Amino acid sequence: MKYLDEYRDGPLAQQLAREIHRLTTRPWTIMEVCGGQTHAIVKFGIDELLPPAITLLHGPGCPVCVTSLELIDQALEIAARPEVIFTSFGDMLRVPGSTTDLLSVKARGGDVRMVYSPLDAVKLAQQNPQREVVFFGVGFETTAPATAMAVYSAAQHGLRNFFLLTSHVLVPPAITALMTSADSRVQAFLAAGHVCAVMGYEEYYPLVRQHQVPMVVTGFEPLDILQGILMVIQQLETGRAEVENQYTRAVRREGNLPAQSLLRRVFRVVSRKWRGMGEIPQSGLGLTEEFASFDAARKFGLADHQVEEPATCIAGLVLQGRKKPHECPAFGKECTPEHPLGATMVSSEGACAAYFRYRRSPLETTMPA
């Protein structure tokens, strides 16, 4: 397929891998921030092409995974209400709260619907004026503009039955949290290309200066990721720490300015609890006063209850890149995509789900003769 197959070309990938091998003289630990990159790495076996000296750590970039258990429980509480049509992206529907998940709420009679776009939820609100339509907005800066547009559009249409439960989070504060933790092993980052397509990469310069880590804005196809790794290794091996952009076909330094201006109008930056990482200051998006009447938490008066994570699950350590999925004793045993203990096993972008789906144990296969 045009604009896709070119970025999955086997011989070109081998060529990039050879160049990485040639340049690498000692061990390096690189974190890819985005869950989409994690999946591409595991799906295409990109890490298998790299020298053993390079370790890829999977970062906290799966928005479904980092949504706190408390917030999921609040979502479940709202979704069970008879007057509510509860909408979210497909991935979110299977994520377990402390006792159940949205699909089970649906099976018990809750009106839970999967949507592809937040604007579909606004449409539902228009079509069902007697019902309360709630959209559970999940995602990083990538999906936040679409959610902002839904709220803005609901306001333009004068809708009073559309509400947003927001779980939107921001990447730079998470990187800061990772780099300031005492036992951080990360020496360089592949920054998430799609987040930067919206936000640009100005905000990474101070991070790079402060922590002296190379940061390369990287795309999601195999050749993007290999080239991103190559650019990171070039920096590491020559002692540089800079912001570079591999994903030039989608990302400009200043990002998408209209999207950013909509974000600033609809959202304000708030502190947020991340699943597995705890409270990170200034790391989430809440509604501004102008749009506060669309806030589902305010509308449904939700209590902030504290819940415990399953004791055996190490999703938190996986999200911080401190453990690999198969280092978890529950991986593939008590914890599978059918019976997930933690969100990293549920979401299509979660690292545990990627490992379970594509490799489970080290694979040494060749085509039978």
Partner 1 sequence: MNTPEFHPVCPLPITDYPHVLMAHGGGGKLMHHLLEQVFGRAFANPLLDTRHDSAQFAVPAGRLAMTTDSYVVRPLFFPGGDIGSMAVHGTVNDLAMSGARPLYLSTAFILEEGLPMATLWRIVCSLSAAAKACGVPIITGDTKVVDKGKGDGVFINTTGIGVIETPLVITPKNVQPGDVVLVNGDVGRHGMAIMATREGLQFESTIESDSAPVHELVQELLQAGIEIHCLRDLTRGGLASALNEIAEVSGYQTAIEQDAVPVQEEVHAACELLGLDPLHVACEGRFIAYVPPRDAARALAIMRGHPLGAQAAEIGRVGAAGSPPVTLKSALGSWRILDMFTGEQLPRIC
Which residues in this chain contact partner 1 in the complex, by CB under 8 A? 1, 4, 8-10, 13-14, 42-46, 48-49, 94, 103, 116, 222, 337-338, 348, 356-360, 363-368
Shortest distance (Å) from residue 41 CB to partner 1: 10
Tell me how far, at minimum, the Cβ of 62 lies from partner 1, in Å: 13
Minimum distance from CB of 334 to partner 1 (Å)?
16
Q: For residue 291, what are its two tokens?
A: 């749009």
Taking the least distance from each CB to partner 1, the nearer of 93 and 216 is 93
* Cα 139 to Cα 266: distance, rounded to the nearest angstrom: 15
In 207-325 the beta strands, taken as DSSP E runs, fall at: 215-218, 243-245, 267-274, 278-287
Of the pair 45, 206, the CB lying nearest partner 1 is at 45
Burial class, 359, CB count within 10 angstroms (exposed 0-12 / middle 13-18 / buried 19+): middle
Q: Give the shortest CB-288-to-partner 1 separation in angstroms.
A: 31
* Nearer to partner 1 (CB atom), residue 239 or residue 362: 362
For the CA atoms of 68, 342, 197, 155, the dihedral, rounded to the nearest 10 degrees, stands at -40
Residue with tokens 């195999």: 222
Listed in sequence order, the DSSP H helices in 167-248 are 171-180, 193-199, 204-211, 222-237
Give the DSSP H or E segment for 299: helix 296-299
In whole angstroms, the minimum distance from the beta carbon of 234 to partner 1 comes to: 21
Q: Of the two residues 13 and 230, which places its CB atom closer to partner 1 in the complex? A: 13
In angstroms, what is the minimal distance from the CB of 344 to partner 1? 14
Quick check: 86 and 76 in contact, CB under 8 A?
no
Q: Is 306 exposed, middle or buried (0-12, 13-18, 19+ CB in 10 A)?
A: exposed
Closest approach of partner 1 to the CB of residue 190, in Å:
17
Residues 5 and 12: beta-carbon distance below 8 Å: no
Q: Is 154 left (phi over 0), alpha (psi -120 to 50) or beta?
A: alpha
Q: How far is CA 155 from CA 126, 225, 290, 317, in A?
A: 12, 40, 10, 40
| 247 vs 291 by CB, closer to partner 1 | 247
- Identify which of residues 64 and 262 has a Cβ nearer to partner 1 in the complex: 64
Is 15 or 271 the residue whose CB approaches partner 1 more closely? 15
